[in-house]
Amino acid sequence: MTDPKQTEAPQDEEVKRQLRELKELFDYFDKDKSGSIDSSELVQILRCLGENPVEAEVDDMIAALDKDGNGVIDWIEFSDLMIKRKGTRSIDEELQAVFALFDKEGTMAITKEGVLQTMNEVFKEGMTLEDAEDMVTVIDREGKGYITFDEFKDVMINGI
């Protein structure tokens, strides 16, 4: 007979890891550091996760989750949303979907051109080619001129 604590521990650790990663995602997109996400920040998160939400859909999500009626969602409301939407997708699958946004050629490599295009078209950042080159240089630890999935995953989970 197996000890229930032994079988639950890996699941508990996985849930904790996923919540930590969601919190990092929340904090990253909470650009104004207000402790809440507005509709424009939520759109960016969902696009980052490989979705293409329309404004009305995002407004409906916020309205459904916004328990205090202030028009934004806080960390608890956000985590509820992500857990419900995530379903069975692992963090690796989520990161692969985000990676694919930047990997325009499908080569399993993010180039400066992929960074530039995605940051400007998807995230509306107004990035220059020089900014994109700098980003690739910082993340590309081996000096290859592109970012691998493992490098991307490491930065998304652990930061630069």
Q: What CATH number did the domain enclosing 56 receive?
A: 1.10.238.10
Whether this prediction's pTM lies above 0.85 is answered by: no
Nearest to 38 by CA among 73, 68, 66: 73
Average pLDDT over residues 86-100: 74
pLDDT digits (tens, 9 = 90+) for 38-78: 888 888 777 777 777 788 888 888 888 888 888 888 888 88
Which of 35, 54, 86 is the last residue before a domain boundary? 86
12: pLDDT strictly greater than 90: no
Same domain membership, residue 97 and residue 43: no
What percent of the chain lies above the pLDDT cut of 70?
Answer: 88
Which structural domain range is residue 19 located in? Answer: 4-86
CA distances to 11, 102, 152 from 133, rounded to whole Å, are 39, 13, 15
Q: What's the total number of domains in the chain?
A: 2
